[in-house]
Structure 1
Amino acid sequence: MYKTVQKFIFSFFIFCTINPLCAQNLSINPTLISHYKNNSDAFLGFDAFGYSYQIKNNVFSKIKGNELFEYKNVSLGKITKVDLQNPLKMVLFYEDFNSVVLLDNQLNKMTEINFSQHPTPIVVTAIGMSTQNQLWIYNTLNQQIGLFDYLKNEYKTVSIPLTEPIQYYQTDFNTFFWIDKKKNWYSCDIFGKITSLGKIADFDKIAIINTSQYLFSKDNLLFFRGIDKSSPEAVSEIKILEKTFDNFYYKEQILSIFTATDISNYKIVTP
């Protein structure tokens, strides 16, 4: 009972804090389209070809029906992050060993890079696929965002040094998004232009949709926020069936909710 009341109070507080008018209780009601069991340690999402990607016992796998591809690299330790933007060239980041592995669509190793062996001192704590055979990287030694050409083994910085630690980051081919410890949201393009995108609400998990929209969870409640001129700080609660969940994934109007045992996929239309 206490947790239910606490969740209600938090939901009301978030809405009223971000939208002082409290004109109406905004909500989004997604449509459940599929539900099945999950036995992975970390479910990573889907691609346009219907393959699912997950990690179990530190083994990265790709599955569709009876098709199964796996990749493991014991020598590099735990997989820190996976970038699935390009299903023909996936990025596995092993932060403990300052290394990255690129895989093809059958999870064969294409390239392995140890940044500690580069002539320029590089310690990577954030990484993602960019354009033209390049990787986004955040180098903690100079606190700058850079681009690494994995074919030429060349590294260049593109941003000025960041003044606050990164709490969360997300990349696409052309943009490096990040949220700092003070909940300030920024983007950096491939030319190094940094744009302030606003202030982010407190969150447990977050997924950036674009430069003005994001989803976030807090205390097992899920919200959508869209920043526009007509309603610059409107927040909508997303009414999912799950009372608790471990994580969520959003891509092209499909919202996937992950629990320890199940995966639910919803069709969602954002305002």
Structure 2
Amino acid sequence: MPKFFNYFFLLFTFICFSQEVIQTTIIDSIPFEAEKFIGTDAYKNYYFIKKNTLVKVNNNKSISYQNLTLGKITFVDIQNPLQIVLFYKDFNTIVLLDNQLNETTQVNGNNFGLIWETIGLSRQNSLWFFDTNSMKFGLFNLIENKFQLISNPLNEKIKLTRSSYNNFYWLNEENELFSINYFGKINSYEKIPDAENYEIISQNDYLYSKNQKIFYFPNNKTYEIVVDKNTFSNFCYKDGILSIFTNNFVINYKIKLP
């Protein structure tokens, strides 16, 4: 009887605490040399930062953009491949590029009394931003060259931001997730796991990486995504394709999220 009980207890423990996994199927592996992998767009273009230059690659053809006068590239938003956004935090400047990486617009926050901490592409030719002077979120209209502050002052530090056309997401230092919409409404969500990189799909779905593993976290349930590489520096997810960057290759996997 004791042996049966021990066996049953171990089996129960294994079932309760074993982590569910999501299997992947490798699609291809593409060699690259770069310092940072930005991601892929809807047209299967790959974006990298190499020697402080934004590089766009497709079918072994590449184009690039570099602006040495603005310092280091802090952030790149490729949500819209026809309007790529670069942020140069040291010079408080945003640069917009077309699909050939030609510069179309350059905006300096100092000209508007704004100190941008972070930015992101929004809808209707606008940019999300967080201003450290007012400690408020806002929208900058690129057509009218005007801005609007849309929140009350934020009394905590921002750890990470991600954007979509309709929402701007941020994590605080406690790893609590929030979002603000185009009309200034703020929503709060559950605390999410501490991690190195995040891919926010929606307010209830995220991918994150930690200790060289990638996890899917929908509605407070954790799945490990199985990949065949032990080391990688970044990843992105788009339309059922998980891409990981190993400093030498971009490896694309087909996955099906539950």
Both proteins in one fold, TM over 0.5: yes
Question: Which of 97, 100, 104 is residue 103 of structure 1 equivalent to?
Answer: 97
Question: Which of 145, 149, 165 is residue 137 of structure 2 equivalent to?
Answer: 145
Matched, 1:57 2:13: no
Match of 1:204?
196
1:38 to partner: Cα distance = 2.0
Cα distance in 1, alignment partners of residues 18 and 49 from structure 2: 41
Match of 1:31?
25
Match of 1:167?
159
DSSP-derived class of the 1:234 partner? coil
DSSP-derived class of the 1:75 partner? helix
Greater shift, 65-74 or 196-205, is seen at 65-74
- The one-character-per-residue Cα deviations of 1:172-212 (angstroms, maximum 9, x if unpaired) are 11100011001110111000111111101111111111111
Which consecutive unaligned segments of at least 5 residues does structure 2 have?
1-14
Cα distance in 1, alignment partners of residues 249 and 183 from structure 2: 42
Identity of aligned residues (%): 41
Q: Cα gap change, 1:33/1:122 in structure 2, threshold over 3 Å: closer, same or farther? A: same
DSSP-derived class of the 2:222 partner? strand
Question: Which of 209, 213, 231 is residue 217 of structure 1 equivalent to?
Answer: 209
Cα distance in 2, alignment partners of residues 61 and 175 from structure 1: 27
DSSP-derived class of the 2:42 partner? coil
Question: Which of 240, 243, 246 is residue 259 of structure 1 equivalent to?
Answer: 246
Cα distance in 1, alignment partners of residues 61 and 249 from structure 2: 20
Match of 2:174?
182
Match of 1:246?
233
Aligned partner letter, 2:98: D
- The one-character-per-residue Cα deviations of 1:14-47 (angstroms, maximum 9, x if unpaired) are xxxxxxx935421111111111212011121222
Match of 1:133?
125
Q: Computing the radius of gyration over CA atoms, which structure comes out larger, 1 or 2?
A: 2
Cα distance in 1, alignment partners of residues 199 and 256 from structure 2: 15
Which consecutive unaligned segments of at least 5 residues does structure 1 have?
1-20, 228-232
TM-score, length basis structure 2: 0.91
Aligned partner letter, 2:178: Y
Cα distance in 2, alignment partners of residues 39 and 66 from structure 1: 13
Contact persistence 2:168–2:179 (CA under 8 A): yes
Cα distance in 1, alignment partners of residues 60 and 244 from structure 2: 23
TM-score, length basis structure 1: 0.87
Aligned partner letter, 1:247: N
Contact persistence 2:39–2:235 (CA under 8 A): no
Cα distance in 1, alignment partners of residues 162 and 175 from structure 2: 14
1:98 to partner: Cα distance = 0.1
Q: How many residues align?
A: 244
Question: Which of 59, 64, 77 is residue 71 of structure 2 equivalent to?
Answer: 77
Match of 2:12?
none
Cα distance in 2, alignment partners of residues 27 and 249 from structure 1: 18
- The one-character-per-residue Cα deviations of 1:99-149 (angstroms, maximum 9, x if unpaired) are 01001111111100011112xx21101101111111100111111110001
Cα distance in 2, alignment partners of residues 63 and 201 from structure 1: 33
Matched, 1:270 2:257: yes
Cα distance in 2, alignment partners of residues 198 and 133 from structure 1: 31
